[in-house]
Chains A and B, each alone.
Chain A
Amino acid sequence: MTDELLQPTAENASPVAKPETISEPAPAEKPAVSATPAAIEVRGLSIGYGRRVVLENLNFRIEPGQIVTILGGSGCGKSTLLKHIIGLYKPLAGDILINGRSIVNANPEEKRSIMSEFGVAYQGGALFRSLNLAENIALPMEELTNWSRDEIRKRTSEKLALVHLDGFENYMPSDLSGGMIKRAAFARALALDPKLLFFDEPSAGLDPLTSDMLDNVILEIREKTHATIMMVTHELPSIFRVSDRVIMLSAEKKGVVDDGAPAYLRDHSADDYVRSFLSRGGTFNSNDDEPGAAP
């Protein structure tokens, strides 16, 4: 693998401008360079714990409206990268722009303001166990807006309906199944109608049918809210079903090894690791219905 792949730039990280080593252009995507700020822009980012560098010199842009999956082997730093992007950790170097605003260099007040512009659904749901489902969804609205109680109640019902959990308002998180907790987490992430959503392992530990239902929910959310969605997941069927783009990380190379539409990368990536990783789940039909499929 060449250094270009180890140290991707803003240009080569886009699915259109592929890294030099990939001979054919990636299809099905529009040019990355745009007058409007990217939903997420990562510039020269290095992250790690203490002195241990996990990923270095990452550069990529995620355009508004895309569903992007961060993919890679276990321990390659996917979740760590996500936690840096959402501002929970401070990077070793580089910058992260959310809708054009730096979350790395923001003061605490600005950072809270940037954070309130996106929604996050955590791997385990992270619902507050002392609150029922409706209270969990209503919490960001109660804390961060001046909406009336009726308005909050109405919006809570809408969000629960969006994830097919209407009727479960008074249930406690401990009374819900794994799939319901994930959907509730989606609903809470959507509470303030953010244009940017982060999902950490949305279908981890769920049976195939529940995973499939969650994929439908994600696609519905995108269709109804036009939000940009960044996911971290290992579930190949989900990736092929919902992702427009995959950013593939490698622990060995401490960076992005490839970046593009999932079906395209599976069939045409210049990197053996990427091709074998994406093919491992068996045969995935790259038909035209798949958002990430090559034409």
Chain B
Amino acid sequence: MKSPTDSVIRCGDMILQLKEEAVSLVSFLGDTTAAMWEGICHPKRLRWKDFLFYMNTCGPDGLPITIMISALMGVVLAYQAEVQSHKYGADNFLPMVIGCTILRELGPLMVAIVATGRSGSAFAAEIGTMKISEELDALRTMGIRPARFLVVPKMWAMLLMLPLLTAIGDFVGCAGGYMVMKTELGMPLDVFLRLTQQGVAVKYFIEGILKSVVFAYIITLTGCWRGFRTGSDAIAVGRSTTSAVVTSILFIVLADAFLAKIFTVFYGWGS
């Protein structure tokens, strides 16, 4: 039987651990941002070979799954919306609903979640394995900052590729929505495009792309941070990979909520 004192102690330990994690994350954020700035000031020092490699793994390699998920998301969203709106004779609003939802929310969110599963976890596993095999220690003792060497190429690659994938995901998601409109309601393409144009502003697309930039930063930062915090055994790599995905998705959803509020209230983009 556990006494109340045990629970208090456990609670205290948990709070201390959370505090320690928060301090570590903020410190890593500072280190990474400084390294990114150094990369901007001295572009020659960026590891271009690594940057191109990660651009390929974050972008083209993730394209098929992004297209598939985005198209299916568009189909499901359109189908569910159509069932409800049809009851009230509001079919003409469907292209706007699909366009707004995909461009502002679901597009960037789903693409970011896919990227977290693919790239964020890979970053954590790669850096975690490097930690176990003492490669991170080797970097430090060479006088090389691991953040500059390992995080910066990944970060730039993700910052460029995720918005691109999001744009493609937006397009494919809307196309999926149109397929449902066409098959269920027999809506012609020109009508779908006209109704979409009437209800969906360019700023919604920009909002989604800006969100994806923030999500890219979160995915890379969290994946690499979890990798650096890997323990000293093989199980620890699995643990940090899982933890990278969970933490990253949590931060993405939190950031999404925060940004939705910012864009809607402060910039009036909701209207």
Contacts and interface: CB of A to CB of B under 8 A. Distances in A.
Interface residues of B, number: 15
A118 interface: yes
A140 B138 CA distance: 10
Interface residues of A, number: 23
B142 A143 contact: yes
A88 B142 contact: no
B9 to A, nearest CB: 16
B141 A86 contact: yes
B144 A126 contact: no
B133 interface: yes
A284 interface: no
Interface string A163-187: 0000000000000000000000000
Contacts of A144: 142-144
Interface in B118-171: 130, 133-135, 137-138, 140-145, 149
B140 A143 contact: no
B135 A112 contact: no
A283 B144 CA distance: 44
The B interface, classified by DSSP as helix, strand, loop or mixed, is helix
Interface string A53-95: 0000000000000000000000000000001001110000000
Interface in A131-189: 139-140, 143-144, 188
Interface in B23-65: 50, 53
B141 A87 contact: yes
B128 to A, nearest CB: 13
A185 to B, nearest CB: 8
A181 to B, nearest CB: 11
A182 to B, nearest CB: 13
Contacts of A86: 141
A162 B138 CA distance: 21
B45 to A, nearest CB: 8
Contact of B144 (A113, A122, A140): A140
B142 A122 contact: no
A81 to B, nearest CB: 15
Contacts of A130: 50, 53
B135 A126 contact: yes
A120 interface: yes
A113 B143 contact: yes
A225 B143 CA distance: 21
Contacts of A143: 142-144, 149
Nearest to B149: A143
Contacts of B143: 112-113, 115-116, 140, 143-144
B138 A126 contact: yes
A124 B140 contact: no
Contacts of B50: 130
A46 to B, nearest CB: 21
Contacts of A188: 138
B269 to A, nearest CB: 42
A123 B137 CA distance: 11
Contacts of A113: 143
Contacts of A116: 142-143
A128 B50 CA distance: 12
A140 B144 CA distance: 8
Interface of B: 50, 53, 130, 133-135, 137-138, 140-145, 149
A-B interface, 4 closest residue pairs, ranked by CB to CB distance from nearest: A116-B143, A126-B138, A112-B143, A126-B134
20 contacts: A83-B137, A86-B141, A113-B143, A115-B142, A116-B142, A120-B141, A122-B137, A122-B138, A126-B137, A126-B138, A127-B135, A128-B135, A129-B135, A130-B50, A139-B142, A139-B144, A143-B142, A143-B144, A144-B142, A144-B144
